[in-house]
Structure 1
């Protein structure tokens, strides 16, 4: 009787996976077995080398030298694969012990880690957008972020909404960066403008229709991606006030 991969998924979310002793003691098969870990490794390889748009069950199966049906014995569907991807990335996030005196800095640091993990795998943040996290590592990071907010005196509902808003911004920022990188990698680069070109185009706009854009062109185009990321995240975090305030 075939094993339902949904039961495997439920087991993954209930407790850390572990190989039974009997399996560990079994002799190594001639061909390396397909496992959830190998599927996740292959999926990350596809995203790192070809981008998230190239990620399909069939493409992952090809990297592993097998057919899609072999993967469906371990995962449910593409959404399940996305859950595994984000969980693997979030396993690398280091969470601090919540400090009421430094909660804002701690929050910014955790989200900067998440941003950098997303940027290492072009477009992968799409897997986290509009998804309900179930992977234990993803939930671990969510719990850690919530703990930081609560330590800062933020009431639970505001903390939950703030976590969603911050996570959405970080995911969208990383996705935009991946799209810009992809455009730069294509032969037709006319849609990717340098800061100087942006300033030049803004400054050339008709003054009677765009007086403010033209006058402040340099300021509008100023700052690096990381500068703007820190600014936007800071706006969100600085708007949070402890419940007692």
Structure 2
């Protein structure tokens, strides 16, 4: 049957359309995290997150002021997954464990670690984590000024490693792709003129050995050994590492 000419189609569509659920803060953060995981932190704009939610960017501004605040919210959400391990009684083991759980939380979300570069997160979960690490450093015997510098140093190392891992994944796809890259890099180093680059040529095989886990553990050990030595100097016991 043809529609009668007096039929108001627009009004009928409005009546038939289900009421849209009002946006809330958690929905926005969930959507931003989904965009980050799928497309990376650079794609996580207000417009793109709004698109993920099926709305306009203006709808987001009632909850977050701009992209910077949105990034802060996502970082805070990611750091909420960091469960601080119970102390073991071994200061080095405790540092290693907190380093790994933090790196794992960042590494679980594509290039989330990139968002921490040039940014000091100030949400409750970030401060909870920082406060815990500062407490560990003070108990180690570091003076407060060195505690203030050592905490960011440790977090920078963790963040950099997590971000580098995300770049390898994006570039080479999987572990086999990364291995092939370093194998070819080793061959390239070995092919260089020995008279110009003797050390690189002679170390060609060694320079590319060790996977990401081994290198992360090595770097962490170097940092912790140095911090313990600094603590010993401050305490004047000359004991070095223990």
TM-score normalised to structure 2 length: 0.81
Q: Which of 62, 65, 74 is equivalent to 2:54?
A: 65
CA contact (8 A) 2:46 2:60 kept: yes
Structure 1 residue 228: Cα displacement: 0.7
For 1:155, the equivalent position in structure 2 comes to 143
Partner of 1:106: 94
Cα deviation for residue 151 of structure 1 reads: 2.0
The whole-number CA distance in structure 2 between the counterparts of 1:107 and 1:95 is: 10
**Structure whose CA Rg is larger:** 2
Q: TM-score when scaled to structure 1?
A: 0.80
The yes-or-no answer on 1:224 pairing with 2:208 is no
Q: Structure 2 CA distance, aligned partners of 1:38 and 1:138?
A: 21
**Residue 94 (str. 1) matches residue 95 (str. 2):** no
**Cα distance change, pair 132–195 in 1 and its aligned pair in 2 (3 A):** closer
Equivalent residues in 2 for 1:96-245, closer than 5 Å: 96-97=85-86, 101-185=89-173, 194-241=181-228, 242=231, 243-244=234-235, 245=237
Distance 2:139 2:170 in 1: 40
Shift in Å, 1:97: 4.7
Number of equivalences: 212
CA distance in 2, matches of 1:149, 1:131: 22
Larger RCO, structure (CA 8 Å, separation 6 or more): 1
> RMSD over aligned Cα, in angstroms?
2.1
Contact 2:186 2:208 in 1 (8 A): yes
Aligned to 1:33, which of 22, 35, 52? 22
Q: Which has the higher helix share?
A: 2
When residues 192 and 33 of structure 1 are mapped into structure 2, their CA distance, relative to the original with a 3 A threshold, is farther
Call closer, same or farther: CA 1:97–1:181 in 2, change over 3 Å. Answer: closer
Distance 2:140 2:179 in 1: 41
Q: 1:127 to 1:197 in 2, by over 3 A?
A: same
Q: CA deviation at 1:192?
A: 9.0
Alignment-derived partner of residue 54 in structure 1: 43
Residues 85 and 97, structure 2, Cα contact 8 Å, conserved in 1: no
